[in-house]
A = this chain, B = another copy of it.
Amino acid sequence: MTHKDKRVNVFLEELASSSATPGGGSAAALAGAMGAGLVGMVCRLTIGRKRFADVEDELRGVLNEAETLRLRLTDLADADTQAFDQVMAAYRLPKETPAQQTARHTAIQSALQGATQVPLETARACGTVIKLAAQVIEKINPNALSDAGAAALLAEAGLKGAQLNVAINLADINDPIFVQKTNEDLHRILSGTDQEKERVFAFVLGHV
């Protein structure tokens, strides 16, 4: 069963269990999905009200993007579990003959690249959620300010949690070009997000 089809408390129990999956990568993606959901909510609480008519078109665009990101991050929670399961399966391959050792090494490296790409995509989506929260924070219905603040905070946790998963899988990858490209992608994604999150947080605290 996919994580998204589980009851919330069943997912939380599985997270807390001694099984390595679901783990921090899936939880990070779901935190990002909650952040995206809250960006959608604050847009919906603003759209259609006369007072905010001049930003309605912009917020409709943000709402569409946030909804796409919510679904994507929900799927990434499952993709993370699958990618990690493949890494563990590769490590369990037989390693008695030289041919087996080569096949196992190739399978591990391939699985690790997959287990790096998934949190990289989670990080990218979470980074966009932070930017959307920052884009709308001064335009939305003030009744929803704390929700937009929570959106940025949750997406930031998802982004940094994904960053840790990228880093931990990258450490065992032997392909220097893949490692360099992934690190460059990651730093591009991270760039400026701390400041945007802090700006959203400070704006909310300054307007309560």
Contacts and interface: CB of A to CB of B under 8 A. Distances in A.
Contacts of A168: 145-146, 204, 208
The SS class assigned to the A binding surface is: helix
Interface residues of A, number: 61
A147 B45 contact: no
A31 interface: yes
Given A146-B168, A153-B160, A205-B164, A15 B41 contact: yes
Nearest to A39: B16
A149 interface: yes
Contact of A4 (B7, B30, B143, B153): B7
Interface of A: 3-9, 11-13, 15-18, 20, 23-25, 27-28, 30-31, 33-38, 40-41, 44-45, 66-67, 70, 74, 143-151, 153-154, 156-157, 160-161, 164-165, 167-168, 170-171, 201, 204-205, 208
